[in-house]
Amino acid sequence: MLPERRTVGALLAHLAQAMPQQEAVVLPPRRLTYAALYAQATAVACGLWRLGIRPGEPVALLLSNRPEWIMVALGCALIGVPVVAISTWSRRVELEYVLDHSQAVALVTLDRFLGADYQALLTEIVPEVAQHLPGQLGATRLPALRELIVLGQPALAAARGFDEVLALGRNLDAAVVCTASTRVQPTDVLYVLYTSGSTARPKGVTLTHAGCLENGFNIGERQHLTRADRLWLAVPLFWSFAAANALMALITHGGTVVLQERFDPEEAVRLIATERCTVYYGMSHMAQAMLETPAWGRAAPRSLRTGLTIGTPEEMALTMYGLGVREICNVYGATETYGNATVTDAHEPETLRLHSQGKPLPGMQLRIVHPETRAILSPGEVGEILVAGYVTSGYYRDPENNAQAFDAEGYFLTGDLGLLDAEGRLHFHGRLKDLIKSGGINISPLEVETYLMTYPKVQYAAVVGLPNTTKGEVAELAAVWDRLEHSPVRCIILTGAGERAFSAGADMRGDLSADPEMARIVNHALLKHHPLSKPIIAAVNGDCVAGGLELLLSTDIRATVSHARFGLPEVHWSIYPFGGATVKLIQQIGYVHAMELLLTATLIDATAAAQIGLVNRVVPTEELMPWALATAATIAANSPTAVQAVKQQISTTMAEQALAREALDQALGDRVRASPHFTEGVTAFRHKRQPHYP
């Protein structure tokens, strides 16, 4: 299908003619063939044209993984309109920034998704949407925005229904769109994808038609894709991993995209099995979640063949052997490199795919340089990874970051560390950039801190990443507590990044020695023996287990979302929860509840956590942070001297009991770590299997 068709519209028209009855997009029970997909994309393009949207004018897309996402994106591509993909996790600050910075002339959005009411958010940003007629927005804050198109139930005066736009398009001669499509150039922008980086604001990465198609085709070739392949896609379409990588790899090979609107492991297992999916695009936590579901035991899919994932050799092996994706490919890349710059070949030996990220794709050039001297390094030497070839032409309306993103020869500076071996394969070694990596997502600490500081009552915000059991990272959290203790802050809110986890504690692939120095640092970081005098509010946004629950026990007022789970599963893996966690648990929820939680090593849901007094209340996701901020404001309005005195009186008494048992804790921990059960438990955890204790 390449290279003669170098725009997405031209490729789609070809597919509709060459394989009209081939399934293109599936979200059961909905099924679109390539002919139907082309017809729907053309209808979208006609509707947008009737609204006065012309080539080069960006259209923002705020949709979940639904066929409409792909229909709108391809409709925009047909007439040369760049698509600004917006995260469905966006809240007011992010949404306003992206709409403003991108200068989007239209927004196509769901009415609501996962508790987020997007029309309410828009009303906060642009009050005019509740007053003005469609097409006459005239928004003061977003002057470029002219049209609001809602999929679902439009509730605003300025909103048009999605079906209304399709109906408008029926009154336009389709030849207009065909003519516009012939004028789209391969170098025209297809996507503007906003991604976190080491700056306070997201950067808009521009990706062209030709780059997406050609690099996507090459990614598909490494997987040996054909039109018979069916992709399971639960990762969000607003990620480059989906929009610029998975989608392009499949459509350039005439395959089928099977959508899952949001990841749910039970549903994923059923969907993959029912639809006979052959291609897996996912992260290790998704693989783990699927393997742990009852559905996997009842009807484990056997159709998966290849796909892409990232992670350690152990995480790669989990997907390769656990899920049975024996031809899974390891990758390296970034949004700026059209998703992937290197990909292992699906037919290469397993050890190469487990332990390297593969050779550069056709059209990609990699260079390893010394981070300080910038000298080009020889094979085997670790340095910063630079990429040229299929890389972004620049960040959208961002000359300052563009000046810093490329060297004099046009190589993109990734900020990542790695080496090229003698055969030209890349081995990734870590990140130079100040980013937190969570579930495959880049999270900018500075961006989150800047957002938190927009709240009038927030005086100080600190975001810290805690991968593995690295002393430096844990010590940084301890240092944050020290700074907060001596700051003018009156109340602290503690929450997790993203929506999957509040904290899951330490990674047991790291140091489990619990030597006295490491124990001291961890105890201080988790506030086990020396509590803060400032009140701490816990906004539990996801799973809270192991060390995460121990940290929760050091907070004072707690609310949780309904999907969070709680537990101390250490004994299942023959780990002893040292540092007084057991004492605190009994103090706070009572002997019977504490012993059940500790000895069964099971996880309980949010409702049960509230019933036993582990948290104060369960709140909807969208109300979690407003509740936390309102509670903090109430506390901050009281006498800080009296508030801190009350907390110190109670928390010090509780901590003294835990501290008095420190020597016993260390001795019991040493006994557990010296036992053969400890070796079996940790080995089982690292190999993703259940332990066996004879």
d(CA 307, CA 601): 34
Phi, psi torsion values for 49, nearest 5 degrees: -65, -40
d(CA 248, CA 257): 10
Structure tokens at 113: 């998704």
Exposure of 512 in the CB half-sphere (CA atoms within 13 A): 22
Phi, psi torsion values for 651, nearest 5 degrees: -70, -35
Cα dist from 216 to 213, 248, 252, whole Å: 5, 5, 7
Contact 222, 343 (CB under 8 A): yes
Phi, psi torsion values for 343, nearest 5 degrees: -150, 135
Whether the bond between 3 and the residue before it is cis, its omega within 30 degrees of 0, is yes
Enumerate the active-site residues.
550, 570
SS (HEC) of 367-421 = EEECCCCCCECCCCCCEEEEEECCCCCCECCCHHHHHHHECCCCCEEEEEEEEEC
Contact 106, 72 (CB under 8 A): no
Structure tokens at 163: 């079906």
Exposure of 103 in the CB half-sphere (CA atoms within 13 A): 7
DSSP 286-318: HHHHHHTSHHHHHH------EEEE-S-HHHHHI
What is the DSSP-derived secondary structure letter of residue 433?
S
d(CA 628, CA 36): 47
Sequence-distant (6+) residues with CB within 8 A of 616 are 557, 558, 559, 610
